[in-house]
Amino acid sequence: MKAKTSLSLPEKPWHHYLTIDLILTVLNYTIFHPFVACIIPLCLRAQLTPYEHPAMRLTIAWAFILTVVSVVGLMSDRFAYGAPREVDLSEEVIVVTGGARGLGALIAEVYGMRGANVAVIDVKKFGEDEAEEKGIAYYQCDVGDRKQVEEVGKRIVEDLGPPTILINNAGIVHGKPLLELSPEEIESTFRINTLSHFHTLQTFLPGMLSAGYGTIVTVSSVLAHLGAANLSDYTSSKSALLALHASLRAELALLPQGPNINTILVTPGQLCTPMFSGVKTPSNFFAPIVGPVDVAKEIIRMVDRGESGEIAVPLYARWIRLLGVMPVGLQSMIRAWSGVDRAMVHRAGNGNTDS
């Protein structure tokens, strides 16, 4: 006898999933795509539309503008980041910090399924059976502790080889007002969110420079550009990563093998992970909550292509820096409308890991 299956209705209406990011994605694959734009005047010409016709002139001009913008963008990226490197996963050793769950776990498990050499560094302990099933080597370690990172680094080199891809993803949040944060909580935030990057970079970067290639992914947050009430320790620690990323790129440019090291800065918006559970976005259309899968997909795509660059999702995360050059009165109005300073008021802080 077959068991009955029940189909549950969607929890949210269809228009909940209609966002400005979805609309832009559709446009980027249609009228904003240079190839599609070039096809339109060709189709008009196939219908014997004269060149003097307004529609023909308009579509040719549109195709020309999009092509120029696309070429200039490619040239800008090449000038800023150099040529991409060839990535062969069979030759790479990938280290993911905070890879026990969430974003870090998705990235680690995808590479594990693809047969890459993956090492996850996390405070959580995993059994050998689970590690073997996922094809991932797990190392229990507090990334905020320099000695533990160095010891684990030696073990990874012995077990898998020198790491060539480092994804610094570990992080925590307490979600408390400044005056309610204990000194221990402030210290733990900076140890995990900021100092861990220094520990892993100083441990694994020398091996990349010796090999002559590598990739470093720095996971920050869009809040690093904004700051937010009840997140003073978190936003400060993530903001420090922006300066660290910029300084790292500057130093690598001065080293003989430095330009061969790819650097990727990730500044996502609110992720639907346990870290920010209970936090509601003021506008799902303009500021949708991002799935870890979407961010993981972008990170994996850029790492696989051997590219350097920045990943900012959703759409508003790409333009958030413009807020800083607006008149302060307008900035205050936008902050009040967005609700960024009220989002954490009703959330109890519990130090969830950003993985």
The CA distance from 249 to 255, in Å, is 10
Per the annotation, the verdict on 234 as an active-site residue is: yes
Indicate which residue of 111, 139, 234, 316 is catalytic. 234
Answer for the pair 355, 103: CB distance below 8 angstroms, yes or no.
yes
Sign of torsion, CA 98 89 301 202? positive
DSSP symbols for 159-201: HT-S--EEEE---EE----GGG--HHHHHHHHIIIIIHHHHHH
Listed residue (144, 168, 290, 285) closest to 223, CA to CA:
290
The CA distance from 308 to 314, in Å, is 19
> Residue 345's Cα: distance from chain center in Å?
26
Answer for the pair 99, 126: CB distance below 8 angstroms, yes or no.
no
Strand-pairing partners, residue 262, are: 215
Answer for the pair 80, 267: CB distance below 8 angstroms, yes or no.
no
Burial 288-312, CB ≥16 within 10 A → b, else e: bbbebebbbbbbbebbeebbbbbbb
Listed residue (200, 215, 216, 212) closest to 255, CA to CA:
212
3-state class (DSSP) for residue 104: helix
**Residue 325 phi, psi (nearest 5):** -100, 0
Beta strand residue intervals within 155-306, DSSP E = 165-168, 172-173, 214-219, 261-266
Answer for the pair 291, 313: CB distance below 8 angstroms, yes or no.
no
Task: List, by residue number, the catalytic residues.
Answer: 234
